[in-house]
Structure 1
Amino acid sequence: MKKIIYSDEAPKPLGVYSQGTVGGGLIFVSGQLPVDPKTSKFIEQDIKKQTRQVFKNIEKILEAKGAGFKDILKISAFLLNINDFKGMNEIFQEFFPVEPPARTTSTVKVFPP
Structure 2
Amino acid sequence: MKEAIKTGRAPQAIGPYSQAVRTGDFLFASGQIAINPATGELVPGGIEAQTEQVMENIKQILAAAGLNFSHVLKTTVFITSMNDFATVNQIYGRYFDDTPPARSCVAVAELPKGALVEIEIIARQ
Q: Structure 1 residue 8 and structure 2 residue 8: aligned?
A: yes
Q: Structure 1 residue 82 and structure 2 residue 82: aligned?
A: yes
Aligned counterparts of 2:61 and 2:80: Cα–Cα separation in 1: 24
- Unaligned segments of structure 2, at least 5 residues: 114-125
Q: Structure 1 residue 24 and structure 2 residue 24: aligned?
A: yes
| Correspondence 1:74-113 to 2 at 5 A | 74-113=74-113
**Residue 98 and residue 11 in structure 1: after superposition, are their counterparts in 2 closer, same or farther (change >3 A)?**
same
Q: Which has the higher contact order (CA 8 A, sep 6+)?
A: 2
Deviation of 1:106 after TM superposition, in Å, equals 0.3
Identity of aligned residues (%): 38
Deviation of 1:24 after TM superposition, in Å, equals 2.6
Q: Tell me the number of residue pairs that the alignment of Structure 1 and Structure 2 aligns.
A: 113
Q: Secondary structure at the match of 1:8?
A: coil
TM-score (normalizing by structure 2): 0.86
Deviation of 1:92 after TM superposition, in Å, equals 1.2
Aligned counterparts of 1:109 and 1:18: Cα–Cα separation in 2: 24
Higher strand share: 2
TM-score (normalizing by structure 1): 0.95
60-69 vs 88-97, which deviates more? 88-97
The residue type equivalent to 1:105 in the other structure is C
- Unaligned segments of structure 1, at least 5 residues: none
Q: Secondary structure at the match of 1:60?
A: helix
Alignment root-mean-square deviation, CA: 1.0
Runs of 4+ in 1 over 3 A off after TM superposition: none
90-99 vs 2-11, which deviates more? 90-99
